Amino acid sequence: MGASEHSFPNSTGSQRDERPHGDQEPAGDVNTDHQPLTRSVSHRHDDATPTPLTRSRFSSRAQLDFITHCNSSCLHRGEQDEQLSDKLAFETLYADGSRTLTTVDVEGEDDLEGDAQLLAHLSPSRGSRLKPRHKRVRRQIYGADGRFNIQGDNFLLDYPFSTAVRISTGCTGVLVSQQHILTAAHCVHDGKDYVKGARKLRVGFLIPPSINGTKADLTSGMKPLVRWVRVKRTRVPKGWIQGPQEVSMDFDYALLELRWPHRRPFMRLSVAPSSDDLAGNRIHFSGFDSDRPGELVYRFCPVEEESSDLIYQHCDARPGASGSGVYGRVWDNGLERWERKVIGIFSGHQWLEIDGENRDYNVAVRITPLKFAQICYWVHGNRLDCVQD
Give the domain ranges of the chain.
Answer: 6-15+52-125+137-388
Give me the sign of the Cα torsion angle 363, 368, 371, 373. Answer: positive
pTM (global) more than 0.85: no
pLDDT at 287: 96
Q: For 70, list phi and psi in degrees, rounded to 5.
A: -135, 135
**Distance (Å, whole) CA 90 – CA 387:** 21
127: left (phi over 0), alpha (psi -120 to 50) or beta: left
pLDDT at 119: 35
Kindly state the DSSP code that residue 49 receives in the 8-state scheme: P
pLDDT at 154: 67
Q: Name residue 225's amino acid.
A: L
Cβ proximity of 346 and 299 under 8 Å: no
Q: Superfamily assignment of 6-15+52-125+137-388 in CATH?
A: Trypsin-like serine proteases (2.40.10.10)
- Where would I find the H helices in the chain? 72-75, 81-88, 113-122, 153-156, 238-242, 245-248, 369-380
pLDDT at 226: 94
Cβ proximity of 315 and 300 under 8 Å: yes
One DSSP character per residue, 1-24 reads: --PPPEE-----S--B--SPTT-P
Cβ proximity of 323 and 167 under 8 Å: yes
Reported in sequence order, the residue ranges of 276-356 that DSSP labels E, i.e. its strands, are 282-287, 296-306, 310-313, 325-332, 337-354
Q: Which residues of the chain have pLDDT under 70?
A: 1-48, 72-81, 107-148, 152-154, 211-221, 243-248, 354, 387-389
pLDDT at 38: 46
pLDDT at 150: 73
